Each structure stands twice: as C-alpha cells, then as structure tokens.
Amino acid sequence: MGFSSLRRVAALCLCTLLGACASGFTTVAPSPPAQYTRLGPAEGSACGSLGIVSTVYYVVPMGANSRVERAYAAALASVPGATGLVDVSYHENWFWWLIGTARCVTVTGEAIR
C-alpha cells in the first residue's frame, strides 16, 4: 500500500469517526402557550451512565439517552399542577465510577399552568 492510499484510508477513517458524533438540535422545553400562570420555581435531576470496556471507550449507554426528558419531568412533578416550564436552564455534570462515567442533568425553570 502506497503513501497516497494510506492517506486516503486515514482520511476516510477520520471522516467516519467524526461523522458518527453528529446529532440534531434538541428542544428541552416545549414552547409555552400564549397565556399562562406562573406557579414558582421548579427543579429536577436525572442521571445516566456510559460504561463497560475501558476508560477511553465507554460505549454502553445506561439510562443516558433519556436523562434530559426525565429531568424535565421531575422538574414538572416538583410543582403541583405544573404543565410546563419557562426560563429553562440546563446544567450537566459528570463523575467517574468503577466501570464508567455518570452523566447527571439538572433542569431548572419557572413552572407554569
């Protein structure tokens, strides 16, 4: 295999790896109705993990894909009668554990009805 062919293979591998990390835009909170009543502050958290294999290649998602939706639902549940949130803020942190990393999301906002 010549140098030119090796460069092409390396470029193809790089494009494949970088293309696999793309995602679309995601909305955390739906748009509020035209008229609503503010009920007070709301906050909810949820965690998920990426794990198994080695520290460089955590590939098994364990509850990681739904953590934002679960945090939003927990924030709604923290205020009785809430049907949505406005002024939403999203905070994410992570930490290592024995065979993976935990990714935790906190969603805060003003609860509305």
The domains located in the chain, with CATH, are 36-113 (3.30.110)
- The model's pLDDT over 44-67, given as tens digits with 9 standing for 90+, comes to 999 998 877 555 566 677 888 889
Q: Please, are residues 45 and 71 in contact by the beta-carbon 8 Å criterion?
A: yes
Name residue 86's beta-bridge partners: 110
3-class SS at 21?
coil
Percent composition of the chain: helix, strand, coil (DSSP 3-state, to 5) = 25, 40, 35
pLDDT at 55: 56
Tokens of 75: 């924030």
3-class SS at 87?
strand
Which segments of the chain does DSSP mark as H helices, in order? 3-19, 67-77
- The model's pLDDT over 8-53, given as tens digits with 9 standing for 90+, comes to 888 877 766 666 555 666 676 778 999 999 999 999 999 998 877 5
- Using CB atoms within 10 Å of the CB of residue 1, give its burial: 0 to 12 exposed, 13 to 18 middle, 19+ buried: exposed
Q: Please, are residues 64 and 107 in contact by the beta-carbon 8 Å criterion?
A: no
pLDDT at 56: 59
| Comparison of pLDDT for 36 and 7, the residue scoring more | 36
Tokens of 95: 């930490």
